[in-house]
């Protein structure tokens, strides 16, 4: 899995949102972006409501979630 997009667009900062992963330059968490997608919003809808979050940032959130899930599954095996 290519983690370049993750590190380019997602950051963990203990001073922002209690250290939750956020889209760089925003206070929007990865979980919030994933929830928007799960509720039927498209990347274009998210960008319209949150101009600092484009399609690349949305993809990075999905990659982050997929990467975290694969790490958990590998650790449990």
Read off the pLDDT of residues 10-64 as tens digits, 9 standing for 90 and up: 999 999 999 999 999 999 999 999 999 999 999 999 999 999 999 999 999 999 9
Tell me how far apart the alpha carbons of residues 73 and 13 are, in angstroms, rounded to a whole number: 25
* Closest listed residue to residue 28, CA positions, set 3, 46, 6: 46
Given a cut of 90, whether residue 68 has pLDDT beyond it is: no
Asked if residues 53 and 23 have their Cβ atoms less than 8 Å apart, the reply is yes
Residue for token digits 């290519």? 2
Question: Residue ranges of the domains in the chain?
Answer: 4-76
* Closest listed residue to residue 23, CA positions, set 63, 49, 60: 60
This prediction has a pTM of 0.87
- What kind of architecture, by CATH, is found in domain 4-76? Orthogonal Bundle (1.10)
């Amino acid at each position: 899995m290519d983690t370049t997009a993750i590190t380019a667009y997602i950051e963990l900062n203990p001073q922002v949102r209690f250290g939750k992963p956020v889209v760089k330059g925003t206070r929007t968490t990865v979980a919030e972006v994933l929830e928007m997608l799960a509720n039927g919003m498209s990347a274009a809808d998210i960008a319209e409501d949150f101009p600092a979050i484009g399609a690349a940032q949305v993809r990075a959130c999905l990659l982050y979630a997929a990467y975290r899930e694969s790490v958990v599954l590998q650790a449990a095996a």
